[in-house]
Amino acid sequence: DAGITQSPRHKVTETGTPVTLRCHQTENHRYMYWYRQDPGHGLRLIHYSYGVKDTDKGEVSDGYSVSRSKTEDFLLTLESATSSQTSVYFCAISQGLAGEDTQYFGPGTRLTVL
Amino acid sequence: AQSVTQPDIHITVSEGASLELRCNYSYGATPYLFWYVQSPGQGLQLLLKYFSGDTLVQGIKGFEAEFKRSQSSFNLRKPSVHWSDAAEYFCAVGAGDYKLSFGAGTTVTVRA
């Protein structure tokens, strides 16, 4: 298994509070991704990073921000959590090789916003 | 932009029977195609992938998938399922831009 950890694994928070989720990798992969998983929607890309300090939006980026100050860490922040952000969040990594962009996933973080 | 459809939300299969999960994609060029499996409470594990070459791809756990360009499909098969194959399966398509689009998933239940 790829060396990817996510913290926390579970979190319950209240509407309006800030929340930061952390993804840590030991593979030195260039690309890192944040997805959310909701029933009936599969996985949807929130944000991704293609290098330190290089990030871009995915299809469901509203209400989320990210930062990557080191190759191994990719943070997802909900500035003011809402109930619609209750979901399971997955981090993924890939090497970013041309013609070979297999993504490997972390164990997930279950976030509940009350 | 590319997209993926998994027409079956839920499939129930008897242990020892064959399994086929359907995946249809929409993309103008040759896509990169993936199947992932997710056991309850776990992350996604890569089963197999197609980038080019032989259109029949072998994966882990006895799974295989066939890329059919004419049908825009990448169906997953297993000749004989085991109870441990009960999980959710996701098909994904990539366009070479380092991003993937996922289908909504198919949940497989295995009955004894």
| Cis status, amide bond into A8, omega within 30 of 0 | yes
Q: What percent of chain B has pLDDT over 70?
A: 100
Q: Which of B4, B46, B52 sits opposite A102 (nearest CB)?
A: B46
Contact B43 A105 (CB under 8 A): yes
- How far apart (Å, rounded) are the C-alpha atoms in residues B36 and B20? 14
Spatial separation of the C-alpha atoms in residues A33 and A6, rounded to whole Å: 12
Residue B28 has pLDDT above 80, yes or no: no
* pLDDT higher than 70, residue B83: yes
Measure CB to CB from residue B104 to each of A41, A104, A108 and give the nearest one.
A41
Token couple for B70 = 């004419």
Q: Compute the average pLDDT of residues B45-63.
A: 94
- Residue B79 pLDDT: 97
Give the DSSP H or E segment for B37.
strand B32-38
| Burial class, A16, CB count within 10 angstroms (exposed 0-12 / middle 13-18 / buried 19+) | exposed
Of the two residues B52 and B44, the one the predictor is more confident about is: B44
User: Do the Cβ atoms of B42 and A108 come within 8 Å?
Assistant: yes
- Per the prediction, chain B carries an average pLDDT of 94
- Percent pLDDT > 90 in chain B is 81
Question: Residue A59 contacts by C-beta under 8 Å, 6 or more apart in sequence?
Answer: A44, A45
B106-111/B10-14 β-pairing: parallel
Contact between A43 and B44 using a beta-carbon 8 Å cutoff: yes
- How confident is the model at residue B18, as a pLDDT? 97
| Of B86, B66, B53, B78, the residue nearest B23 (C-alpha) | B66
> Scanning every residue of chain B, which has its alpha carbon at the shortest distance from the alpha carbon of A34?
B99
Both tokens of A27, joined, read 């593979």
The pairing of strands B87-94 and B73-78 is unpaired
Q: How far is A80 from chain B (nearest CA, A)?
A: 26
Helix (H, G, I), strand (E, B) or coil at B83: helix
Residue B51 neighbours by CB under 8 Å, 6+ apart: A99, A100, B32
pLDDT in tens, A65-105: 999 999 999 999 999 999 999 999 999 999 887 766 789 99
pLDDT at residue A1, rounded to an integer: 56
Amino acid residing at B81:
V
Mean pLDDT on B47-66: 94
